[in-house]
Amino acid sequence: MSGRIEDRLKALKALPVIEPPAELESRTLSAMARAAAAPDAVGSPQVIARAAGWVIAIGAGVLLSVWLANDNAPDVPAELADAVAPPQAADEFYSLLVEESMRLEELLALMPAPRRVMRADTASTIVGLEDRVALIDAALRQTGAEADLPEYRTALMLDRVEVMNALVNVRYAQSRAFVF
């Protein structure tokens, strides 16, 4: 070891040992005993308040997810909402979906051209939504046993309307018209 380190070690060893006062140790031990004996039982107010907070937070999350799921659902007339709808109502619902899809296509075409520079996550979202629309269109063009079922085509068209609506919203949010 170098001389400086040895000198410092000697100086540290030469320091007097200081003992804490005896009453400090007894006060510390009694405070630790009180903390350990604190009522953490199931019936204590703190535990009940904590549990109530968790229940409220979880309940609020569930209610919010249900509310958002119902809020994002398309507005469907009550007579068309039945799963066991007559074929005529199913055809009407499908034609309503086709009209909505065409309206969203027109709205998308009327939007200003996308900015040349945008965030990578926004561009990725737009590309993902456009790819999803292309996949749905390819599935709608298919023919075959499953593809010719009206329920299948209606489900695909409903999915297309939802994806197109999301695409319009994202494109509008990143457009120049929405800049603050």
Q: Which domain holds residue 63?
A: 21-71
Query: Among 1-15, 82-96, 111-125, whose mean pLDDT is lowest?
Result: 82-96
Tokens of 93: 């619902």
Question: 5: pLDDT confidence band, cut at 50, 70 and 90?
Answer: confident
Looking at the structure, tell me whether residues 63 and 84 fall in a common domain. no
Tokens of 3: 């001389």
Count of domains observed in the chain: 2
Contact yes or no for 147/139 (Cβ under 8 A)? yes
Segment 65-106, tens digit of pLDDT? 666 665 555 554 454 444 444 456 667 888 888 999 999 898
**Last-in-domain residue among 38, 71, 104:** 71
* Better pLDDT: 148 or 160: 160
Looking at the structure, tell me whether residues 104 and 154 fall in a common domain. yes
